[in-house]
């Protein structure tokens, strides 16, 4: 075979005495191919001045080397802004993780009531797998993905007895850390300002919050427990209602930094001194938490690392079939709000 005839992956495969898929994977630096084989194929490619055609390679391997980040259409309509820092920070980690394995990122916006979207992406070859970040009707989306046997990973707590990849924070530990800190500082009328009550993450945070009270010999007042959304608007509404109906509240544990920062603002508007009259703890440790007034004490779960693990562990599943469930430790970042 002469240099001029080495024009396709098939030509190089015949020259190397291996399959086309081996050549494609070797030139894409796939971990499925041994280093010795990779170097032999690379040397032949250099010798014959062969450049891999990425599109042809992906078609021959029936893979797009693209991962879809699945979220709700809210972001498609409004675009990402300051109020969406959680998504932006986790996307930064995901992009880093994908880039290291030479995968691309596709933003996929799905209607919460639509469970047919996985088939549309897989059958057209637009994505090899999915990072599921939906909140509304998440369990319905998971059920659809499982039934299709689609490769995916979720951010959040996986339901019991389910076998799929996940990355989550230690939500029980985070809720307990927040309550323990407030109780140690002498607070006794602590409100729980939760996200959606049906979400497993929120339930775990409440369980940790409740556990700290029980260990301290205290009983939770159900009237101080409320649920909403992880947003500024929800934090504003719920905090105002709580403080109007229960002025004895001396602390608030909010399930997101946005809710907590809204709680700070509402409390101050109502004449509460922070933290003298009211202590506030948030969740996530977003970059805005340190710049709030006063700086926000919050539960940190290392969101950039979470994004990186979501990408890396999904790619590992695509390549090996190994299912991983990773929990990121929760830490309390203490600042002036509590």
- Residue 81 pLDDT exceeds 60: no
pLDDT at site 46: 83
Picking from 212, 203, 209, 130, the residue whose alpha carbon sits closest to that of residue 166 is: 130
pLDDT at site 65: 86
* Inter-axis angle of helices 9-16 and 54-61, nearest 10: 70
pLDDT at site 255: 96
- Are 189 and 247 in contact, with CB atoms under 8 Å apart? no
Picking from 196, 204, 192, 195, the residue whose alpha carbon sits closest to that of residue 166 is: 204
Q: What's the CA gap between 104 and 269, in Å, rounded?
A: 46
Tens-digit pLDDT profile for residues 216-262: 999 999 999 999 988 899 999 999 999 999 999 999 999 999 999 99
- Residue 335 pLDDT exceeds 90: yes
Q: What's the CA gap between 297 and 292, in Å, rounded?
A: 10
Q: Looking at beta carbons, which pairs linking 28-32 to residues 24 or more positions away fall under 8 Å?
A: 28/52, 28/57, 28/65, 28/102, 29/102, 30/319, 31/319, 32/319
- Residue 2 pLDDT exceeds 80: no
Q: What's the CA gap between 181 and 234, in Å, rounded?
A: 24
pLDDT at site 285: 93
pLDDT at site 153: 95
Q: What's the CA gap between 231 and 196, in Å, rounded?
A: 11
User: Any idea which of 17-21, 170-174, 200-204, 304-308 has the lowest mean pLDDT?
Assistant: 17-21
pLDDT at site 80: 47
Q: What's the CA gap between 253 and 179, in Å, rounded?
A: 7
More confidently predicted of 114 and 170: 170
**Average pLDDT rounded to a whole number, residues 255-283:** 96
**Percent of the chain whose pLDDT exceeds 70:** 90
pLDDT-derived band at 1, boundaries 50, 70, 90: very low
- Residue 58 pLDDT exceeds 50: no
User: Any idea which of 72-76, 142-146, 159-163, 326-330 has the lowest mean pLDDT?
Assistant: 72-76
- Residue 79 pLDDT exceeds 80: no
pLDDT at site 171: 95
**Average pLDDT rounded to a whole number, residues 285-303:** 94
Report all structural domains of the chain as residue ranges with CATH numbers, in order of start.
Answer: 3-61 (1.10.260.40), 66-169+303-329 (3.40.50.2300), 171-300 (3.40.50.2300)
Q: What's the CA gap between 103 and 317, in Å, rounded?
A: 14
pLDDT at site 8: 75
pLDDT-derived band at 109, boundaries 50, 70, 90: confident
User: Any idea which of 28-32, 123-127, 231-235, 310-314 has the lowest mean pLDDT?
Assistant: 28-32
Residue entry with tokens 């309509």 = 77
Max CA separation in the chain (angstroms): 86
- Are 152 and 131 in contact, with CB atoms under 8 Å apart? yes
pLDDT-derived band at 214, boundaries 50, 70, 90: very high
pLDDT-derived band at 277, boundaries 50, 70, 90: very high
Tell me the whole-structure pTM to 2 decimals: 0.75
User: What is the SS3 assignment for 253?
Assistant: strand
- Residue 112 pLDDT exceeds 70: yes
pLDDT at site 55: 45
Q: What's the CA gap between 79 and 134, in Å, rounded?
A: 16
Task: Count CB neighbours of 96 within 10 A.
Answer: 15
pLDDT-derived band at 161, boundaries 50, 70, 90: confident
**Average pLDDT rounded to a whole number, residues 308-313:** 96
């Amino acid at each position: 075979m002469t240099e001029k005839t080495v024009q396709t992956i098939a030509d190089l495969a015949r020259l190397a005495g291996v399959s086309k898929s081996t050549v494609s994977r070797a030139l894409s630096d796939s971990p499925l191919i041994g280093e010795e084989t990779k170097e032999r194929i690379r040397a032949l490619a250099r010798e014959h001045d062969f450049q891999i055609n990425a599109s042809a390679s992906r078609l021959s391997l029936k893979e797009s080397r693209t991962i879809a980040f699945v979220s709700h259409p809210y972001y498609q309509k409004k675009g990402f802004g300051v109020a969406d820092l959680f998504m932006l920070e986790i996307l930064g980690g995901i992009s880093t993780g994908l880039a290291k394995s030479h995968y691309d990122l596709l933003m996929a916006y799905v209607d919460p009531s639509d469970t047919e979207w996985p088939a549309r992406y897989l059958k057209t070859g637009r994505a090899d797998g999915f990072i599921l970040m939906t909140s509304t009707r998440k369990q319905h989306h998971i059920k659809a993905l499982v039934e299709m046997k689609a490769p995916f990973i979720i951010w959040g707590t996986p339901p019991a007895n389910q076998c799929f990849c996940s990355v989550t924070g230690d939500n029980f530990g985070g809720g307990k850390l927040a309550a323990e800190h407030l109780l140690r500082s002498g607070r006794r009328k602590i409100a729980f300002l939760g996200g959606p009550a049906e979400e497993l993450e929120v339930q775990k945070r409440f369980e940790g919050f409740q556990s700290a009270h029980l260990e301290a010999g205290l009983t939770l007042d159900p009237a101080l427990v409320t649920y909403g959304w992880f947003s500024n608007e929800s934090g504003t509404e719920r905090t105002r209602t709580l403080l109007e109906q229960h002025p004895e509240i001396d602390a608030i544990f909010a399930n997101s930094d946005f809710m907590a920062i809204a709680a700070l603002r509402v409390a101050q508007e109502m004449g509460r001194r922070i933290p003298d009259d009211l202590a506030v703890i948030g969740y996530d440790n977003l970059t805005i938490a340190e710049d709030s007034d006063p700086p926000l004490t919050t539960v940190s779960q290392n969101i950039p690392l979470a994004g990186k693990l979501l990408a890396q562990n999904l790619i590992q599943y695509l390549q090996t079939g190994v299912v991983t469930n990773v929990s990121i430790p929760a830490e309390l970042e203490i600042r002036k709000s509590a």
